[in-house]
Structure 1
Amino acid sequence: MLSMSDTPIERFAPVFARLNTPVAFLVPTPTGYKKSIMDAIAPVRELLYDAHVHDYQQQAQGTENKHVVPAFLVKGDGLVETQASLYRPTTKHGDPRIWFYDLKKHCRPCNLLALTVIDEAIYVFNLSDPEVAESLLQQDYAYSILQRGDKSSVIEQQLLALIRKINADGPQRSITPGDPGVGDTLEHALGIQRNNSKNPDYMGIELKATRLSRNGKMRTPTRSTLFSQVPDVGMKYREIVEKYGKVQVPRGSSEARLQLYETFRVSRPNAYGLVLDVNENADRLDMEYQDGDKRSYVASWTMKLLKERLRTKHPETFWVGATSEMIDGVEYFRYVRVMHTKNPNASLLGPLLEADKVTLDLAAHFDADGKWRDHGVLFKMDKKNFPLLFSDPEEFVF
């Protein structure tokens, strides 16, 4: 759906992320615009349900069961009062529909519409309208509609002070060899036992530590893992590797193995022919195999599950960067940087997947002896794009 939009969502996602405003996006198709009808896709249904405005699942079909709710069309300097019609037609399967009265006067086909709910009324921002866009981005009238306050956290200040002290104490000897050492050593210095659960590490704050350098050389920035989640429908993780993996000789080894180490995105298939697709009507993320012009279904994640994983893992997170050096054959870390994020706007996860701002890494193989090894199904994002998802990321350098 967003692929039809005449306006990129990336310009506006930071605004909704910063204010932690639940949002759903709609793009009127030429046909729908002409008929004054739009599909109430899953993100719209979820927005209305969570705001206690409407539950399509409980709605009977037919115009006699139509539900009309108050709505406002947001302009650059004011509001146009209107109404939204929510209904399920008697045709087909009664697929949910939505339309805003007088919308045609304020938008064109393929415009990007952002929907939010305030006090049980739907507010519509036409992000393709230059005046609305400028008012939102310049924090003028349209922005004021969304504005909310925030409170600082005593716990975050406490944790920041502890990491500053660890930095002042000098390089920390790694307690674990290899890649896990940077995170394990930080948690050990903070008095935290190693965390293999899906819950945050420090009094509700998640800790994610990465190396900024190795052996004195700065590393190329890598995407940060938001969370790990295997598909919950379709083929199992192991079955995907068995069917679509390739027999290859990994770097530094002389033995071939069946493996699948690759990034997945929506925009194009990867080297294994696998590609993602945001299925908005079914409210899920699909993995598909593309062979020529044909695609076949492989597996999927329900978007509800992915959003819940994001909310659970990152209600508040310290992304800690460390320099690394070897001393007498042992690795030492100095924790020099913290990026603080909170309040992920889970309603933006689907659009950001569709825009390739959130991608997926699958990393697994079978050893030559057939033993299975995996490093997870990892949903990742470049830190430079964090403002698209999180509310007011802050960075501290020691």
Structure 2
Amino acid sequence: MRELSDFEVENIGYLTRYGLDYGLLEPTSTGLGKSIMDATADYRAFLHRQCIHDFDAQGQGVEEKHTVPATVITADGDGMRADASLYRPRTKEGDPRVWFSKLNRYCDAGDILVSLWAKGRIWVLNATRVRFNEVAVSSSIYRDLLRPLVSERESVFEELLGMLSSLSARGFIPAIKHGDTAVGHLLETELGIEANSRKIPDYKGVELKASRARATSSQTMFARVPDWKISNLKSSREILENFGYERGDDFKLYCTVSSQRFNSQGLKLLVDEKAGLLHEVSNRPEVGRAVTWRIDDLQDALSSKHADTFWIDAVSRREGGTEFIHFRSVKQTTKPIVQQVAPMLAAGTITMDHLIKRTAVKVSEKGPLFKINKKHFDDLFPDPIFHDLQRGML
């Protein structure tokens, strides 16, 4: 699927803001002509999460076709019955297919179609043609379907913002630790959250990601090692042995890897969206595809870590040998658009950092860290809410 436009991201952001699960499809001109669409891995996952259909348990052939009630909502606010056909043909290894009756009457090739599950049927909305937050007010059928969902987490947000505002009101607070973890550790301590294996802990299901406000171009999202079972290299040690370099007394590999070009170590990312794989490839033919991630594993890591996140900015200053930290603002996000992971990796707006080092004692790996270019943050985390902890919500 292609990368979403700003308009489409705004629409998906509207859905995620209110906790609505969804599946995305992009019909092609060929598909519209043949009345067929590929049921992508993401779309199959949506059907499975909602207990609508399990393609893995479905046989091949027309006789195994499964039909689900569905309605397409047009841009004019009309609900048109368009039942979904879910099947696996006998040809082409039984690749999963989906089609909505007479769909070619209601959309164009390249449109992004959103599927929602409610009232025992699939509802199809056109995220390319309709602004959801407007029709949710002006159209009765959209309003009934998209009515904002009130959840208990809203009270958690208010509670947490109150605690952070009180913390900010104290001004600069002396740090307890040094280095990159000092901000997160201080936040954890001041909020009375028990330390655990996560670098920055959760608060009642909200991920807290605190950092110094710096003029850096990227933001760390999560760490995920490759799938060693399907990788040519089988460990961080092997990656280091093939691509590392001497620095002082250490042998290390600290570098950023992007899909746009080979870096100085001869490494580049390659997205195989059809196979659902991300490869790190070398420009050395004898190495080729060094390691591989499953894209759905990256999506799972992103969605599980950042279902609800407070990205907390702090400023710091030094007095003598002590660092003092002041928590200033929060960017609040809900449910990233995981379908953007593959196209953003391919576009180079999501990159990966290696942080591998070998000392005389051992090999340590702090990553690989997947990062997003801050200019494209809203493409993955739509409609963030900004809070100035000294003035309230912006």
- TM bracket (short chain): 0.7 to 0.9
Partner Cα distance (2:340, 2:160) in 1: 28
2:258 aligns with 264
Partner Cα distance (2:262, 2:9) in 1: 22
* Structure 1 position 87, deviation (Å): 0.7
Post-superposition Cα deviations, 1:18-69, rounded to whole Å, max 9, x if no partner, equal: 3333333333344433322222111111111111111111111110111111
Post-superposition Cα deviations, 1:190-220, rounded to whole Å, max 9, x if no partner, equal: 23343323894333332211112xxxxxx31
* Structure 1 position 122, deviation (Å): 2.5
Is 2:149 the partner of 1:149? yes
Partner Cα distance (1:228, 1:6) in 2: 27
1:226 aligns with 221
1:241 aligns with 239
Picking from 368, 371, 385, the partner of 1:377 is 368
TM (norm. structure 1) is 0.81
2:280–2:290 contact (8 Å) kept in structure 1:
yes
* Cα gap change, 1:65 to 1:7, in 2 (>3 Å): farther
Q: How does 1:148-297 map to 2 (within 5 A)?
A: 148-151=148-151, 153-197=154-198, 200-212=201-213, 219-233=214-228, 234=231, 235-239=233-237, 241-242=239-240, 245-247=243-245, 249=247, 257-265=251-259, 268-282=261-275, 284-289=276-281, 291=283, 296-297=288-289
**Which stretches in structure 2 are left out of the alignment for 5+ residues?**
none
Partner Cα distance (2:296, 2:225) in 1: 14
2:210–2:311 contact (8 Å) kept in structure 1:
yes
1:320–1:338 contact (8 Å) kept in structure 2:
yes
RMSD over aligned CA atoms reads: 3.5
2:334 aligns with 342
Partner Cα distance (1:16, 1:350) in 2: 20
SS in 2 for 1:376: coil
Partner Cα distance (2:263, 2:124) in 1: 37
Q: How does 1:110-149 map to 2 (within 5 A)?
A: 110-128=110-128, 132-133=129-130, 135-136=131-132, 138-140=134-136, 141=139, 144=143, 145-149=145-149
1:274–1:287 contact (8 Å) kept in structure 2:
no
2:202–2:208 contact (8 Å) kept in structure 1:
yes
1:23 aligns with 22
**Which stretches in structure 1 are left out of the alignment for 5+ residues?**
213-218
Partner Cα distance (2:11, 2:246) in 1: 42
Post-superposition Cα deviations, 1:78-106, rounded to whole Å, max 9, x if no partner, equal: 22221221111112321111122212223
SS in 2 for 1:153: helix
SS in 1 for 2:371: strand
* Structure 1 position 340, deviation (Å): 2.6
AA aligned opposite 1:40: A
Picking from 271, 282, 298, the partner of 2:290 is 298
Partner Cα distance (2:285, 2:14) in 1: 37
1:259–1:365 contact (8 Å) kept in structure 2:
yes
Quick one: higher RCO (CA 8 Å, sep 6+), 1 or 2?
Answer: 1
* Structure 1 position 330, deviation (Å): 1.4
* Cα gap change, 1:290 to 1:185, in 2 (>3 Å): same
1:339–1:393 contact (8 Å) kept in structure 2:
yes
2:301 aligns with 309
1:215 aligns with none
Partner Cα distance (2:123, 2:38) in 1: 17
Moved more, 313-322 or 37-46: 313-322
Post-superposition Cα deviations, 1:139-171, rounded to whole Å, max 9, x if no partner, equal: 454864434323353333333222222222232
Partner Cα distance (1:15, 1:160) in 2: 22
* Cα gap change, 1:19 to 1:308, in 2 (>3 Å): same
SS in 2 for 1:360: strand
2:357 aligns with 365
* Cα gap change, 1:323 to 1:264, in 2 (>3 Å): same
1:205–1:315 contact (8 Å) kept in structure 2:
yes
Identity of aligned residues (%): 33
Q: How does 1:26-65 map to 2 (within 5 A)?
A: 26-65=25-64
1:6–1:112 contact (8 Å) kept in structure 2:
no
1:216 aligns with none
1:111–1:126 contact (8 Å) kept in structure 2:
yes
* Cα gap change, 1:277 to 1:99, in 2 (>3 Å): farther
Moved more, 185-194 or 66-75: 185-194
2:270–2:281 contact (8 Å) kept in structure 1:
no
User: What number of residue pairs does the alignment pair up?
Assistant: 380
AA aligned opposite 1:65: E
Moved more, 294-303 or 318-327: 294-303
AA aligned opposite 1:321: D
* Structure 1 position 335, deviation (Å): 1.1
* Structure 1 position 388, deviation (Å): 3.9
1:358–1:381 contact (8 Å) kept in structure 2:
yes
1:225–1:380 contact (8 Å) kept in structure 2:
yes
